[in-house]
Amino acid sequence: MKYLLLTLISFGFLSFSACGYKEGVSTAAAKSYFYFTGFSSSDKSVKVSIDGGEKFSVEPSRDNQYAIKPGKHLVEVYRDGELKVQREVYVSDGIAKEIEVR
């Protein structure tokens, strides 16, 4: 009887201690960044297309970063409608990559 009671108490402690355990590892979503330099902020004619997507305006400076998924990307930069930069860029997770517009 004593062993049965000891076994039940031990089993109870073991089962309750496992209830609060959270299995697995949680991580933040993978993100990388592009930022653009080499032109003035008053130059509104600079547009960017990433991976053949729709063109959008960008602001120059390291402070103006644009989030993107890590991996290989085709970056095209246009000024006054003319293609100025066409570069295939690989960015790792958490990296900010500068694209200079000349």
pLDDT exceeds cutoff 70 at 91: yes
Residue 83 has pLDDT above 90, yes or no: yes
Given a cut of 70, whether residue 22 has pLDDT beyond it is no
pLDDT digits (tens, 9 = 90+) for 23-59: 667 777 789 999 999 988 888 889 999 999 999 999 9
- Rounded Cα distance, 84 and 76, in Å: 8
* Residue with the two structure tokens 């930022």: 35
pLDDT in tens, 61-80: 999 999 999 999 999 999 99
* Statement: 30-100 belongs to CATH 2.60.40: yes
Ordered by start, the domain boundaries in the chain are 30-100
State the Cα–Cα distance between residues 29 and 93, nearest whole angstrom.
9
pLDDT at 102: 79
| Mean pLDDT score, 89-101 | 92
Amino acid identity of 47? K
